[in-house]
Amino acid sequence: MDVRTAPARLRSMPSWLLNQVALPAQRIIAEALASVGARRQHYSVLSALEEFGPASQAALGRRCGIDRSDMVALVNELAAAGRLERTPDVEDRRRNVIAITDAGRKFLSELDRLLQDAQDDLLAPLSSQERAELVRLLGAVLAHHSG
């Protein structure tokens, strides 16, 4: 659908606009991450480990909103690439603690740069002030509906 020819009623609805913008946003982000063999979930997991420190696989999955079965495969992928490590939990040997490695931090920095370029691409028509305001407003709407 060409948004310029969509009915005015639709073009005036924030929910419709958000959905329309989400499509190119997802494509731009997915392409940027794929250029280095990464996915959105890789970025989420590495970001959470960098920001909050080591965590159990289950806690990490909950924090990132990743299903348990998907989390296993994701941790295996990142561990095989040397971007995170699993060690037995000293309090519960049945559980592993996941931690980011130096290679994971380096990769996360690369992903940060790629994603910043992708954000610039997505928000190209907006000034830096408009971008900051958009982030603030979207954050307020999300916070309202998240709790």
**DSSP-derived secondary structure for 16-80:** HHHHHHHHHHHHHHHHHHHTTT--HHHHHHHHHHHHH--EEHHHHHHHHT--HHHHHHHHHHHHH
pTM of the model: 0.88
pLDDT attached to residue 3: 79
38-118 folds as Arc Repressor Mutant, subunit A (1.10.10)
27 backbone dihedrals φ, ψ, rounded to 5°: -65, -45
Domain ranges of the chain: 1-34, 38-118
Q: What is the pLDDT of residues 93-138, one digit of tens each?
A: 788 899 999 999 999 999 999 999 999 999 999 999 999 999 999 9
